[in-house]
Structure 1
Amino acid sequence: MNRLDLASLILLNLEKHFHVLKEQYIASEKAIGFFYLDDLLPSEIALKIYTSFPDSKDLVLKKSLREDKYIGVQMNLYPSILEEIIYAFQDERIVKIVGEICSIESLQPDVNLYAGGISKMEENQFLNPHLDNSHDKDRTLWRVLNLLYYTTPDWQEHYGGNLELWPNGLDHSQITITSKFNRLVVMATHNKSLHSVSPVKFNGFRSCVSNYYFSNNPLSNSDTFHVTSFRGRPENRFIDFLLKTDTKIRMSIRKIFKNGIKENPHVYKNKEAQ
């Protein structure tokens, strides 16, 4: 199926559950706004997306105190259905209805897939609590929504690898959203959208398709520019200290070099796709 066909299926499901999803988002909006929708696509299509994920050796390993995961952004290197599903979420019909659910106007998808694309997490891999970079790659638009589509069949909460939201900070309990097969999660990104992925505790891998939407305006008037800002998990105070120091150093660099010292490689460089 191509991206138009996939977008049409996604649209039907979003329309069908529009009011429930809007209520979900409104109920959580004062903290970290989010909604999720299960059974997004026919299961055979979702399974095809899952089985098309490349081997880990064909992805880029990002491993540090901040994170440990595999990512892929050069989508022309992988089975075409992966690129089609990513850009299905960028169809103007999907962008429009997601904006209506979240009451956000003038949303813009990111054809460059800056920090988007596909990701895999295997046993013991993780993503520490963090705030996403506040802007797009050119630092002209505000990042306002994060779309995550999970594709690993039979994924259970106790496997780990789940999305965690920390609306009240790391001193309070997190909200856990299981990385359930064929589930779409949409969450707001702003200066208080602290989130993470819990360590994987399963001998397998969790696969995810990621997109971001941007806008000319931030979600909150108090939002300010920031780099991707990592923290340690509550039980890792020393790592938390190191990561906060790391963020301060990178922020200092960005005050001097607006777009950083070097180009971020996590961008899809394919003019045809754009």
Structure 2
Amino acid sequence: MLMRSSIVRSNLALDGKDFAIPYRQARPFPHIALKDFWDAEQIAEISRQVKEFSFFDGEKDFYGTQKKRYCGAYERMPPAVRELIDTCHHPSFIKFLEDMTGEKDLVGDPRLIGGGIHSSRTGGFLKVHADFNWSEQLGLYRRLNLLIYLNSGWQESWGGSLELWSRDMSRKEASVAPDLNTVAVFSTDESSYHGHPDPLSCPEGVTRDSIALYYYSPAQPIDARRTKRGISEYRSRGISDFLSSVKYKLIDKFRGR
């Protein structure tokens, strides 16, 4: 991937050590939500270009996720999105992530496997899961997720907040609203369970948009239980997932599908 000359500016001083304590002490696993992170004009333009984007690779439609369009093809992405990705793969930004999280030798994924532009429509959801933790293409372990939200005027009643669940899946412990210019970063391991598992109730034509980027390391994880897993593992919330399924079917029935 070629580094472009234009850099998306941050509104925050990029010293990861300033955020190290809240990140590493967060529960249920290390994470942080940084609001108003990017330059307001630049992120607004990125949001506009994503809202108008239509060259998706496909749309996911299975048990784990519904009505989620995705594009990991860097060459097809709008120019402002490519500049944002380049910024997030720049050595200075990776150093910020390393200083904040304590990870070492991080590498951004140039192929954007599973990442890139994500756009979920009305009724869409992503069930609670732990991500794949090994990239066969890179030969590296996945260590961090970075999500950049692009949704101006998003209403809480529409759902769609990123939920972080306890390691025993007994309760939701934290959530992050997908508001424009919010950046969520969290560590990926065997039980970093997360998702937005309830069907979105936003109006037709409104989408929940984000840029997803993943970072890898050659270091063997400390977690001795970890195995090289190339697929995500989904977890049930019990009765909550049953009610979510009923709500999804009712939304489709109400809208005549």
Q: Determine if the TM-score, normalized by the shorter chain, exceeds 0.5.
A: yes
Closer, same or farther: CA 107–196 of 1 in aligned 2, 3 Å: same
In the other structure, the counterpart of 1:141 is: 140
In the other structure, the counterpart of 2:47 is: 50
In the other structure, the counterpart of 1:78 is: 77
d(CA) in 2 for partners of 1:40 and 1:79?
20
Closer, same or farther: CA 147–3 of 1 in aligned 2, 3 Å: farther
Aligned-pair distance for 1:174? Answer: 3.7
In the other structure, the counterpart of 1:193 is: 192
Deviates more, 1:117-126 or 1:48-57: 48-57
Structure 1 unpaired stretches of 5+: 240-274
- Residue 6 in 1 paired to residue 7 in 2? yes
In the other structure, the counterpart of 2:227 is: 224
Larger strand proportion of the pair: 2
Closer, same or farther: CA 160–134 of 1 in aligned 2, 3 Å: same
* Number of aligned residue pairs: 235
In the other structure, the counterpart of 2:22 is: 24
- SS of 1:158's partner is helix
Equivalent residue letter for 1:34:
H
Larger helix proportion of the pair: 1
Residue pairs, 1:35-114, within 5 angstroms? 35-53=32-50, 55=52, 58-59=55-56, 60-68=58-66, 69-114=68-113
**Does the CA-based 8 Å contact 1:143-1:218 persist in structure 2?**
no
In the other structure, the counterpart of 1:235 is: 239
Q: Deviations over 1:21-53 (max 9, x none)?
A: 222212126x41101211111221111001101
**Does the CA-based 8 Å contact 1:34-1:186 persist in structure 2?**
yes
Aligned-pair distance for 1:231? Answer: 2.3
d(CA) in 2 for partners of 1:174 and 1:234?
16
Closer, same or farther: CA 27–73 of 1 in aligned 2, 3 Å: same
In the other structure, the counterpart of 1:175 is: 174
Deviates more, 1:224-233 or 1:36-45: 224-233
d(CA) in 1 for partners of 2:156 and 2:168?
22
**Does the CA-based 8 Å contact 2:15-2:99 persist in structure 1?**
no
- SS of 1:125's partner is strand
Closer, same or farther: CA 147–224 of 1 in aligned 2, 3 Å: same
Identity %: 22
- SS of 2:23's partner is helix
Q: Deviations over 1:98-120 (max 9, x none)?
A: 10111111111111111110100
Closer, same or farther: CA 218–54 of 1 in aligned 2, 3 Å: farther
Aligned-pair distance for 1:76? Answer: 1.9
Return the TM-score normalized by structure 2: 0.83
**Does the CA-based 8 Å contact 1:132-1:229 persist in structure 2?**
yes
Q: Deviations over 1:224-257 (max 9, x none)?
A: 2222111234325679xxxxxxxxxxxxxxxxxx
